[in-house]
Structure formats: C-alpha cells, structure tokens
Amino acid sequence: MNNYPFDFDPKQSFIQQASDWIADVFYEKLPEAGFEIRDEQIYMAFQLERAYADKQTIFAEAGVGTGKTFVYLLYAISYARYMRKPAIIACADESLIEQLVKPEGDIAKLARYLDLTIDARLGKSADQYICLNKLDDARSGQDDAELFDSIYRELPSFVLKPETMQSFYPYGNRKEYPSLNDEQWNQLGWDVFQDCLVCERRHRCGQTLSRDHYRKAADVIICSHDFYMEHVWTYEARKREGQLPLLPEHSSVVFDEGHLLETAAQQALTYKLNHAVFEGIVTRLLQEEIRESLAVAVEEAITQSEYLFKLVKKRSVKVPASDRKEIEWSEELLREVNRLQDTLAVIEEELVFESGLYTIDTYQLKIVEEHLEMIQFALSLFKRPDKPISWVTQDKDDISLVIMPKWVKEVLKEQVFSRKMPIVFSSATLSVNGSFDYMMDILGMDSALSFSVPSPYEYRQHMRVLAPKAGEVIGLQDKVRETYRLLKQSGGRTLLLFPSMEQLEQFKGEAELLPENPDFRFLYEGSAEISHLIEQFQTDETSNLCAVTLWEGLDVPGPSLSQVIVWELPFPPNDPLFAARRSDASQPFEQVDMPYMLLRLRQGIGRLIRSREDRGTIVIFGNKLNDGHVREQVERVIPEGVTLESL
C-alpha cells in the first residue's frame, strides 16, 4: 500500500516529489473540484518547500483569502507520512482548533476533494476537560448543584461503575457542554491545583483518555499554542516522573496565528503558588510515622507560608482593565520569601534522612519532593538580577502568587528553534512596517526564512473604515449610543471587539439600560462555550457577537458579519507582564505598545472580509486616535486603497 498520495520514488528527493504533487493539487485537482487557482497559494507552496527541504523555521505571512491553511496542511501531512511521525498544528486558542476541524473545515475539504483519509486528532489543554473531583465538589455546593448533578449522571458508565471488560473512550471536554458559562465551567473544569498524580480516578479521566487517543494520530495532532509550550516546558520533568510527554515525537510544527506564540510561551513557563494547595500536599507527611524533627519543620513551613500569603494579599492592588493584582514589593516581603525558602530547605534535608528509613510511601514522597522543588525554584527567581514578572490572582476565598521568568527567549531558542525540524509561523500579521524583526526579537531567533503575500481581495471596493474625527473626545455613554446607531444602520450583523473583559462588561452594563436594547440580540463571550457562540452568531444573521479573544482566527463569511466595531484601540493591558516588557525597553511606547496594538488591530480588521463577495464596515473607536502619530500608524495598517473616513 502506498503511504503517499502520489507515486513515490525512493531514489529521488521526497520534498521535491511532494512539492510537485502539491503544485498539481493547486493547478489541477482543486480547480477541477470548483476551487479557483490562487497565485498566492502557489507562491506560498514554493516558499514552504525551502523550509521543509532544509528543516528550517519560516515566517509565512499571507493575507486573508490566500488559502494558506491548505498549503501548510498539504506539506505537514505529506512530511508526516514520510517521517512516520505526526505533524503538530498549534493554534492560538481552542476556538481556532474547532474551526480547523469542523465538518466543513479545511481538513475535511482536503480529504473530500483529494480523496484522502486524513488522521487528524485534537490534543486539547487539560483545562478543557472535566475534573471528576471538582465535579463532586460542585455537586455538593449551593450554586447550580442540580445542573452539576445532571452532568454527573450523564457521564459514561465506566466512570460511574468501574467494571471489567469495559470499553473506554474520551469524554468530558468543554465543547460537550456549550451552555455552561465560564464561571460554571471553572467550578468543574481542571485547574493547575489538581494533583492528578495521586488521583485514584486518573485512569478513567476524560483528559487521560483523550491523551491516549490523540497520541496515536498518524498525520496531524491539533492543539493550542499553550498546550504545545506546556509540552516543551514539562518534557524533562514528565520523563523524570516516568510519564509520557504531553505530545509524541513529531515531524514538523505549524504555529497558526504564530504572532501569539510568545504570550503562550510565557504562560507555559509560569508558576502558580497557593497556600492551601501547599498545605494540602505537605500535611500528607504528617499522616505517616515520621520523626518529630520533620513534623516540626512541616508545621513551621505551613505557618510561614500562611503568613507570607497574608502579607502578599495585603501588599497587592487591583490593576485596572485586568484580572490581576500588582504586588508592591518591599524588603519585608522579600525577607519573608527567603524565610519560606529556608523552612522548605529544612524539610528537604529531613526528607533525605526519612527516605532512608522507608517510613513514607515512596510515591507520596516523590510527589512532595517534586512540589517542594517547584516552589523553591519559583521563589529563587526573586534572587536573580533580572527579577521575575509576578502578580496575584483571586481564587474565590483565596489568592495565588503567579511567578513568570523573563527568559522565555532562551527557552524557545534552546528547546524549540534549535531542533532540526521544519517550523512554520503562519498568519496574516507577522511583520510590523514590512519587517519581521519584532517577531524574531520577542521569540529569541537569530535567523529565519520569511515571505509575505498580500490578500487577493479588492478591499478598496468592499470595505469602509470609519473613526471619530481627529480631536473628538467620546465618553462611554456617547460611544454606546453611537454603537446602537451603527447597529441599527447595519441591522445587527456586527462583531464588537474589546481589549479586555472589563470593558466588555462595562459596555454590557450600559447597553442594558437603553430602551432600544431589546431590539438587538447580543452574544457575550463568557456566557457560553466560545465555538457555540460563534455558531449562533453565524446562524442568527442579525445577532451581534461581543468578544475579547476573537481578534484572530474568526472566520464568518457572508452577511452574518457585515460590520466590525473596534471598541478601543487594542493596546496591551496595564498588567505586570507588559509593565516588565516596558521597563526593559528604551522606548516602551514605540517598542512594546505600538507593535502589539498594530498587529492586533490588523487582525481585528481582517475579521470582516472573508470571501470575495463580502462587504462591510470597520468602525474604530479610541481617544488615542487624537494622537497624530497613533492615527498615522493606524491609517498605515488599513488595507491598501481604503481611507480612514470620519464618522
């Protein structure tokens, strides 16, 4: 049986043969199926041939409508079969994953029109699955207990009644519960504080079963950027613990919407410390027959941890337009961090003696040691000259201390880009003012291949871009009223993009006070599973979708999306992460704020025209447009031939 969709000659270059076949696909096979020949696709195909032939990294910037997904999929699948290892397609978030694999998505189209059987499987992040232990807690809670109980009763029988000779299959992912809002999902979805290693139900957990499933993919595994970076960061630790890495060995990687990878990398390299979790883990030692000196050390560590977290809570302040709190660091706070490290060091020394006595279960001992090692490393980052980025999050009645190293570049360079493997960054927005230097710098790259191809769409005829007049300051209530005027004018059919959830909630609160509010249907991100909201928006033509995370990747062709309202210019949030980036820059606004905003704005504008027949309006609000330099830069990212008109 031929493993390839073409007659393979082992005496000739595989990549050259694959490239010839891909050229035939675009020149003959797809046009025969009704697709138009796109010069941009063919050009991109020849560019990707270089990356796969030489196993290099390439920035593939291709405008909306170029059909870039078909190109990278054809190369990734062909190369995966040649190497006998699946390709990884890493998307910016879970909603983009769903769009890639939906029944009418690009993978299904290639399989249908090229008569291919493509084995593509999803590798979803852990937080996209139900945690059975959290579900039990939610069922016994006061809020939505009946709802959670019905979810429990609908679980597969092998979860509720373990028996012999049962068949197991993946279950319990976020998409199966579309009506749950984010708050409800957070009550039963997995989170970082779940100790899966000692969970008695881990072998019947939907997350575990899904990993067994996607690891067997022959052609493609599709995951999020976050998940791929978590795989990279935990690779060695999981091997030490005798576990399989999150992803199997793979032949190539495609980072779709690759301009967002750096943010995902920093999130993956983040440590989250919580007193209650720490106490729950170390108190396991007290349940064993241990020496008094170890018991005393454990009690002292618990006391010191509790004091430190109370002090952190006292010294943290809310960051506007962010769900984070900034820590006001002081000598006292750093001194208490050092004291906690000292108490943990005592426990670690005591455990060395205790392990020789075999009084503690070996498995339990290993878990405690790993947790202590993680905390020690996270806290030790404060002793480095380049202090880590840190902030506080509120978790119901408790707080967590989040610590993020600054040296993401080094990790990416050593563990991702140093591998001799084709790596493709695909997006419509990878360059800033025609240069890829910004992306290469934040990702720690020394060199990479690159190319740009424009969109084939006639934006001059199909798009209008409107903004308030220069010098006009618009307050919140006036902006809401102007938005309703625009919605009435377009008959709904609008995507409203917000820079933060706080601003979305602000709009929602003001909008609900207007008498004309019932005339429109609004779908708000966070009120249900995101791909379910997108489907509703596409189906109900006059509805309006309000979102924070859909600046990239949303693909809704046709009249359902005829207007995009940018509620505010998407400058980076005023949180500790971007504060750290600004502090490291000689010109923070020009080097950090403007490139981020312009890339995101270009992506937001790209949501409107998704086919040759699409037409519509972009409306950009933001009082920062009154800055002449900002307005000039915004005008430069508008598609060529389109001018910025006044509202």
> In this structure, are 388 and 426 located in the same domain?
no
279 domain residue, yes or no: yes
Number of domains in the chain: 4
> In this structure, are 309 and 179 located in the same domain?
no
> In this structure, are 551 and 637 located in the same domain?
yes
> In this structure, are 171 and 30 located in the same domain?
no
State the pLDDT at residue 579. Answer: 81
260 domain residue, yes or no: no
> In this structure, are 285 and 342 located in the same domain?
yes
Neighbours of 303 (CB within 10 A): 12
Alpha helices in 191-283 (DSSP H): 206-214, 225-240, 261-268, 275-282
- pTM here is 0.84
Assess contact for 579 and 632: CB atoms under 8 A: no
> In this structure, are 349 and 284 located in the same domain?
yes
> In this structure, are 481 and 414 located in the same domain?
no
Neighbours of 416 (CB within 10 A): 21
Contacts of 36 (CB under 8 A, 6+ apart): none
Please give the Cα distance from 86 to 80 (Å, whole number).
5
Tell me what percent of the residues of the chain surpass a pLDDT of 90: 59
84 domain residue, yes or no: yes
Please give the Cα distance from 599 to 432 (Å, whole number).
7
Please give the Cα distance from 411 to 444 (Å, whole number).
9
> In this structure, are 305 and 204 located in the same domain?
no
Question: Which of helix, strand or coil describes residue 228?
Answer: helix
> In this structure, are 80 and 167 located in the same domain?
no
Question: Whole domain around residue 372: which residue ranges?
Answer: 271-405
- Domain CATH code at residue 397: 1.20.1440
| Rg of the chain on CA atoms, in Å | 26
108 domain residue, yes or no: yes
199 domain residue, yes or no: yes
Report the mean per-residue pLDDT for the chain: 90
Kindly tell me if the per-residue pLDDT of 2 is higher than 70. Answer: no
458 domain residue, yes or no: no
Tell me what percent of the residues of the chain surpass a pLDDT of 70: 98
> In this structure, are 118 and 142 located in the same domain?
no
Range 483-493 average pLDDT = 96
Pick the last residue of a domain from 191, 216, 241: 216
350 domain residue, yes or no: yes
pLDDT band, residue 359 (cuts 50/70/90): low
Rounded to 5°, angle at Cα 390 from 385 and 393: 170
What are 282-290's contacts with CB under 8 Å, separation 24+?
282/347, 282/368, 282/371, 282/372, 284/364, 284/367, 284/368, 285/360, 285/364, 285/368, 288/359, 288/360, 288/361, 288/364, 289/359, 290/354, 290/359, 290/360
State the pLDDT at residue 512. Answer: 92
Q: Highest-confidence range of 61-75, 343-357, 400-414, by mean pLDDT? A: 61-75
Pick the last residue of a domain from 175, 198, 216: 216
**522-524 vs 544-547, strand pairing mode:** parallel
State the pLDDT at residue 396. Answer: 66
244 domain residue, yes or no: no
> In this structure, are 318 and 371 located in the same domain?
yes
> In this structure, are 632 and 496 located in the same domain?
yes
Neighbours of 105 (CB within 10 A): 15
Q: Which amino acid is at 402?
A: V
Range 430-436 average pLDDT = 84
Tokens of residue 615, six digits: 């037409």
